[in-house]
A and B are shown apart, each in its own frame.
Chain A
Amino acid sequence: MRILVAEDYLPLRRAVAQALRESGWSVDEAATGSEALVCARGGGHDLIVLDLMLPGMDGLEVLRALRRAGEKCHVLILTARDGVEDRIRGLDAGADDYLVKPFAMEELLARARALLRRGYDVKSPVLSFGEVEIHTSDHRVLVAGEPVELTAREYALLEYLALRAGQVVTRSEIWQHIYDENATVSSNVVDVYVGYLRRKLERPGQPRLIHTRRGEGYLLGLQEDA
């Protein structure tokens, strides 16, 4: 999952970005309204955490510009403005959720998870594929009821593939949603991580969970390889 945090107050931006990264998502940061707009346009973000009082360009202006440009990513407004009118204005401008400062980081993460699930038309916080269960709320993964240890990156990859279960996901899409703009990793890192996931989740005699589509990408599901 790729998230953009647009917040001008550095200590807050730093803390939110760190919390999101530690949840396994790739995070981009913007300190001004215009930066946020440039970054969000075509950035393929699943979620934008947007402060309203941004220098240069107001958060609402950024939001309206994004919606005018047809951007469908979810937007969570994070602001100190707590008036009902402010909330209405924000939601009417195209935001999907609204959180008032100061907030509990756990709540921000829960709302982010809910918005991300909604983005992939998934309601349940538990994604099940045969013996594999992915608990998105606490990032637990069980295989045949037994917990499996995954790194944050492995979990992020699994969650992204699971949310797009049944679809072929290209390497560049995975790249875009798992790694942020500052990441410096080799080009075959996706293949490496898919390999790790297969080793940890797939059991001999059980149907494969992650299928390779040569020249296209990967598909998560219990169907047989084509």
Chain B
Amino acid sequence: MKSLRTRLIAGLLLGITLFLAVDGVAIYVVVHSRLQSEQDRSLEGVARSVAPTLFARARLERHADPPPGPPPPLPETFGKGSYLLEGWLEDGTALLRSPGLEPGLLARPSQLDGRASFSDARLADGTPLRVVSLVLRAPPERPEPPARQGHPPRPAPPPPVEVSVAVDSAGLSSTLRQMRWLLAITWISSSLGSAAILTWVVGRALRPVDRLRRQIDAFDAARLGERFELAGAPSELAPVVERLNAFVARLDAAFRREQAFTAHAAHELRTPLSGLRSTLEVELSRPRSAEEHRLAAQQCLEVTLEMQTLVERLLELARLEARAAPGPAQVVSVADLVRGCWEPFAARAAARGVALELRVEPALACSIDVELLRAVLQNLLENAVDYAPASAVVQVVGQAADGGLELRFINPAPDAPPELPQRAFEPFWRADAARSATGLHAGLGLALCERIVTLLGGRLQACLSQGNFTVELRLPASTAAA
């Protein structure tokens, strides 16, 4: 997998080198073209400058009214040997050739329209030549005026001549070669420079990402309380850090809940476990009678049953955490359901003189997962029975409310601590820190109820008023019986 840094550097470098290459080629083409056309223009000028000489020689060659005196000499440029020249008549008769110039090396003009044609040639010693070939025609003359006395008739115009002029192009080639090298070196050095600058710039730009990556690498479950920090980070990374921190905060909260729950569960199991272990250790510490063994076994069984209750509650809670939706709904009479839920505790309540006062409209019914609702009602009634003072009355008041159902469980609680309503639904929290009722009440009942009611779409609230502890159960309109 390629890193973002590599991708960025490679992509940008490729773009820059391509751009530089295209630029270099374009510059070379333009400069080459300019220099070449400059040379060609100059060469053409030189070629045309020999026109009088060639026309004179053509007249001589044709013996047609040759001008008086010797033919005009070649311009000085030819004399120094910088240029080579060969001239012909249209029929191919050679008129003039630079000394030492191999005949036929310079091609005759292929076109006769007077326009210059340019070509390259090479001397026998390898010297590169630029050649211009063109046909020279004498400019048309004004119409001859009527013959005047004493004036000879104007001579006939010279015939067209062909000329090819060559110049040593090694200088231009060398200049162009140097330019090519210069451009290539510039391209390579620019590319290397760009690579270095890009590496630095991209590295610097991605430094916050690296910092974030290092922070993420170093992150583990033990550091969930910490948050990611990117001072001076680019604005693009700010939302990433923000989301990451929000995610870690949720994870942290979940871990803390999980740890607290596990610690509580372990803590709750320790006391009955140590009761069991101590009973067995004492029992085995010396020889005992059969009756003593029986008694110890009975005590161990009681402790084991308490632990079983606790473990079942914990499992129930875990199952509820994993459950996404309640089971199929059934229509049930609320009053009947409350009475049914009271039955298992009726004897325990009677033993303490605790009575149930049921004030629920007989017709009140709801359509709900009855098993879940039964679990809630049983827990609430059991709590009320066990925590109400002796001879108290536990009231259950039910009515339709907001299209749904409202049930209130009220029991006297004269010694309840003021924080009871706020903490009643915390797992393992008990109004009295002691575990005199370990197994019977592990502080899980109301937590279970709250989870179940949430699953049913309802709400559970507690309040403490005038010495009465009230748990209010509200079920949504969707549970109303049709």
Q: Which residues of B contact A9 (CB under 8 A)?
A: 271-272, 275, 435-436, 438
Knowing A53-B435, A55-B432, A80-B267, say if A12 contacts B274 (CB, 8 Å). yes
Contact of B270 with A54 in the complex, beta carbons under 8 Å: no
Contact of A80 with B271 in the complex, beta carbons under 8 Å: yes
Closest to B303 in A: A11
Contact of A105 with B271 in the complex, beta carbons under 8 Å: no
Knowing A53-B433, A55-B436, say if A12 contacts B275 (CB, 8 Å). yes
- Bitwise interface map of A from 133 to 172 toward B, beta carbon under 8 Å scored 1, else 0: 0000000000000000000000000000000000000000
Q: How far is the CA of A53 from the CA of B433 in the complex (A)?
A: 6
Q: Which residues of B contact A55 (CB under 8 A)?
A: 432-434, 436
- Bitwise interface map of A from 12 to 52 toward B, beta carbon under 8 Å scored 1, else 0: 10111011001000000001100000000000000000000
Contact of B282 with A18 in the complex, beta carbons under 8 Å: yes
Q: Which residues of A contact B390 (CB under 8 A)?
A: none
Contact of A15 with B282 in the complex, beta carbons under 8 Å: yes
Whether A101 sits at the interface, judged by CB under 8 Å, is yes
Contact of A102 with B277 in the complex, beta carbons under 8 Å: yes
Whether A106 sits at the interface, judged by CB under 8 Å, is yes
Q: How large is the interface on A (under 10, 10 to 19, 20 to 34, 35 or more residues)?
A: 20 to 34
In whole Å, how far is B440's beta carbon from the nearest beta carbon of chain A? 12
Whether B278 sits at the interface, judged by CB under 8 Å, is yes
In whole Å, how far is A136's beta carbon from the nearest beta carbon of chain B? 17
Closest to B436 in A: A8
Q: Which of the residues B271, B279, B286, B433 comes within 8 Å of A15, measured between beta carbons?
A: B279
Whether B276 sits at the interface, judged by CB under 8 Å, is yes
Contact of A19 with B277 in the complex, beta carbons under 8 Å: no
Q: Which residues of B contact A54 (CB under 8 A)?
A: 433-434
In whole Å, how far is A75's beta carbon from the nearest beta carbon of chain B? 18
Q: Which of the residues A8, A32, A81, A103 comes within 8 Å of B267, measured between beta carbons?
A: A81
Whether A69 sits at the interface, judged by CB under 8 Å, is no
Q: How far is the CA of A73 from the CA of B478 in the complex (A)?
A: 64
Contact of A14 with B273 in the complex, beta carbons under 8 Å: no
Q: Which residues of B contact A14 (CB under 8 A)?
A: 279, 299
Contact of B433 with A58 in the complex, beta carbons under 8 Å: yes
Closest to B439 in A: A9
Closest to B302 in A: A11
In whole Å, how far is B316's beta carbon from the nearest beta carbon of chain A? 22
Contact of A102 with B285 in the complex, beta carbons under 8 Å: no
Contact of B436 with A31 in the complex, beta carbons under 8 Å: yes
Would you call the interface of chain A mostly helix, strand, loop, or mixed? loop
Would you call the interface of chain B mostly helix, strand, loop, or mixed? helix
Closest to A23 in B: B285
Q: Which of the residues A10, A19, A56 comes within 8 Å of B282, measured between beta carbons?
A: A19
Whether B281 sits at the interface, judged by CB under 8 Å, is yes
8 A Cβ contacts from A103-134 to B: 103-106
8 A Cβ contacts from B275-301 to A: 275-279, 281-282, 285-286, 299
Closest to B267 in A: A80
Closest to A100 in B: B270
Contact of A11 with B299 in the complex, beta carbons under 8 Å: yes
Max count, chain B CB within 10 A of own CB: residue among A11, A22, A55: A11
Q: How far is the CA of A105 from the CA of B282 in the complex (A)?
A: 7
Contact of A15 with B272 in the complex, beta carbons under 8 Å: no
Knowing A11-B272, A55-B434, say if A22 contacts B267 (CB, 8 Å). no
Contact of A53 with B279 in the complex, beta carbons under 8 Å: no
Q: How far is the CA of A19 from the CA of B434 in the complex (A)?
A: 23
Q: How far is the CA of A197 from the CA of B305 in the complex (A)?
A: 46
Contact of B278 with A16 in the complex, beta carbons under 8 Å: yes
8 A Cβ contacts from B173-217 to A: none
Q: Which residues of A contact B277 (CB under 8 A)?
A: 102-105
In whole Å, how far is A140's beta carbon from the nearest beta carbon of chain B? 15
In whole Å, how far is B413's beta carbon from the nearest beta carbon of chain A? 15
Knowing A19-B281, A22-B285, A105-B281, say if A12 contacts B299 (CB, 8 Å). no
Closest to B278 in A: A15
Q: Which of the residues B273, B281, B303 comes within 8 Å of A106, measured between beta carbons?
A: B281
Contact of B436 with A103 in the complex, beta carbons under 8 Å: no
Contact of B271 with A101 in the complex, beta carbons under 8 Å: yes
Q: Which of the residues B273, B282, B434 comes within 8 Å of A102, measured between beta carbons?
A: B273
Q: How far is the CA of A162 from the CA of B197 in the complex (A)?
A: 90
Q: Which 6 A-B pairs have the closest CB atoms?
A: A102-B274, A11-B275, A15-B278, A55-B434, A101-B274, A80-B270
14 contacts between A and B (CB under 8 A): A11-B275, A11-B278, A11-B279, A12-B278, A16-B278, A19-B282, A53-B434, A55-B433, A55-B434, A80-B270, A81-B267, A102-B274, A103-B274, A105-B285
Q: With contacts A14-B279, A16-B278, A18-B282 known, what are 9 further pairs, Cβ within 8 A?
A: A11-B276, A11-B279, A14-B299, A54-B434, A55-B433, A55-B434, A58-B433, A103-B277, A105-B281
